[in-house]
Amino acid sequence: MSGQFKDPSLGPQYPLPPRAVDAAYYLDPAQYEREIERIFLRSWMPACSSKELPNPRDYVVWDRLRQSVVIARQQDGSVAAWHNVCRHRGARLVEKSGHCKFGKFKCPWHGFSYDLTGKCTGVPLRESFDQRDLVDLRTVPVRVAEWNGLVWLALHDDIPELREYLGDLWDELGYYHMENFEIRYRQSAELNANWKVVIDAFNETWHVPSTHQETLSGLMLWRDARLKICSPHSWMTLPIAGYTEKAGPNADHHEANVCHYTAFPNTIFSCFPTHLQMWSAWPMSPTKTLLTAWGVVGPAPAGLTEEKWAEISDRNWAHFLSVLAEDSRGLNDLQYRRGPLERISRRGDAKGRPALIQTFVSLVNDAKLDASRATAC
């Protein structure tokens, strides 16, 4: 593939409507609840790194979206995930991530115990129960997949397997072989903004010359960003000053650009050939979002010592934190009023300006937030 996407192979990548977005799209509590139930609880989402559970009996407690899930490494090396809720009276079973020495989790309330798969293996005063209620008793399982160095969760049965769900992103992200990378840096921040605003902010380049005057505007050729929609996901290539051109027109786009992928609904992978930043916007309320950011670093590139690579990686992460701080300042200050969105030509002659906002609005709306969709989550 060429270093840049070229017309006309782009095809119709810029959806035209909507021309403006109502404030209710961001503020309406009912819309928010529908999004949680019908988007977040029906999507695959990366929950943690595989390297957080290197050994059998290691486990991670994932608390997001008003859910709590235990992800546990099994004796055979696979992972299992289950709701962190005791089947007796609903107590939270496991407090925090760790290593389960004996492979048994004991409920703190009345002492039911569960194995690594979430199966109930011990009931105190067993004779006081109707034995039929104890047959095959287990926590409610959660779908889990381990791919590209990450553990992904899906909180609903009615969605396809991860590969099908990711579509084009499967090959795009797979290119980086993130299983060879490690999450070396982490940062999180609560923002006073709706989760979609946060995603929007990282998917348009209009703000770069003003918001990121000091950090990005000289580095990214933001006017030349190229966008692609692979519904429900999207991505763009961002050329890098003094680098992309040197790589030549036939360079692979992964090697010559920052490739910026949005895995619907809430995770962005901003990939350089040797490292990447990955962040997720977790809704907390209509106007509050937890942004979690990870700095993911690959092996030292040829010709660099580990020490030098660590020094460069520290610098890359510090630069990213400065960018994030600039975005956060803006995001914490937003007022919601109906406002126009830039109208983008379907032919892509607007040079990749912020059509992803329109696209994201459409993708969210396409998720069928109407009542006709079943809600059994």
Q: Kindly list the residues in this chain that would bind ligand FES in the complex (CB under 6 A).
A: 86, 88-89, 91, 107, 109-112
CA dist., res. 179 & res. 146, Å (int): 10
| Dihedral angle of Cα 20, 26, 31, 36, to the nearest 10 degrees | 120
Residues 6+ apart with CB under 8 A from 129: 123
The option from Fe ion, ligand FES, none interacting with 310 (CB < 5 to 8 A, set by class) reads none
Whose CB is nearest to Fe ion? 327
Q: How far is it, in rounded angstroms, from Cα 39 to Cα 367?
A: 7
CB of 30 or CB of 325, closer to Fe ion: 325
Task: Give the shortest CB-92-to-ligand FES separation in angstroms.
Answer: 9
Place of tokens 């309330």: 109
Output the smallest distance, CB 94 to ligand FES, in A.
Answer: 11
Q: Taking CB under 5 A as the rule, which mask of x and - marks residues 296-335 in contact with Fe ion?
A: -------------------------------x--------
**Calpha distance 156→141 (Å, rounded):** 10
The string of DSSP codes covering 213-250 is TTTTTTTB-GGG-EEEEETTEEEEEEEBTTTHHHH-TT
Tokens (6 digits) for 76: 């055979």
To the nearest whole angstrom, how small is the minimum distance from the Cβ of residue 91 to ligand FES? 4
| Upper half-sphere CA count for residue 184 (Cβ side, 13 Å) | 21
Taking the least distance from each CB to ligand FES, the nearer of 86 and 225 is 86
Q: Which does 324 bind (CB under 5 to 8 A by kind): Fe ion, ligand FES, none?
A: none
Task: Name the residue nearer to ligand FES (CB basis): 87 or 226.
Answer: 87
Q: Are 323 and 222 in contact (CB under 8 A)?
A: no
In terms of CB distance, is 78 or 188 closer to Fe ion?
A: 188
Residue 51: name its binding partner from ligand FES, Fe ion, none (Cβ under 5 to 8 Å by kind): none
Place of tokens 């990121």: 212
Taking the complex as a whole, the smallest distance from the CB of residue 74 to Fe ion amounts, in Å, to 40
Phi, psi of 254 (to 5 degrees): -65, -35
Q: Which does 89 bind (CB under 5 to 8 A by kind): ligand FES, Fe ion, none?
A: ligand FES
Q: Which is nearer to Fe ion, 200 or 327 (CB)?
A: 327
Residue 120, contacted partner among Fe ion, ligand FES, none, CB below 5-8 A by kind: none
| 82/269 with CB nearer ligand FES | 82
Q: Which is nearer to ligand FES, 110 or 186 (CB)?
A: 110
Of Fe ion, ligand FES, none, which one sits near residue 220, judging by CB under 5 to 8 A according to partner kind?
none
User: From the list Fe ion, ligand FES, none, which binds 327 (C-beta under 5 to 8 Å, kind-based)?
Assistant: Fe ion
Nearer to ligand FES, 106 or 223 (CB): 106
Shortest Å distance, C-beta 137 to ligand FES:
11
Helices (H), the chain: 24-27, 29-38, 162-166, 168-174, 195-201, 208-211, 244-247, 253-256, 306-331, 355-366
Minimal distance in Å, beta carbon 87 to ligand FES?
Answer: 8
- How far apart, in whole angstroms, are the C-alpha atoms of residue 79 and residue 135? 24
DSSP state of 195: H
Q: Which of residues 91 and 341 has its CB atom nearest to ligand FES in the complex?
A: 91
Residue 206 contact, options ligand FES, Fe ion, none, Cβ 5-8 Å cut-off depending on partner type = none
Between CA 181 and CA 203 the distance in angstroms is: 24
As measured in angstroms, the least distance from the Cβ of 326 to Fe ion is 6
Binding partner at 189 among ligand FES, Fe ion, none, C-beta below 5 to 8 Å by kind: none
Give the list of residues 6+ apart from residue 277 with CB closer than 8 angstroms, or none: 269, 270, 293, 294, 295, 296, 320
Q: Are strands 79-83 and 113-114 parallel, antiparallel or unpaired?
A: unpaired
Whole-number minimum distance, CB 120 to ligand FES, in Å?
Answer: 9
Query: Contact positions toward Fe ion, by CB under 5 A?
Result: 327
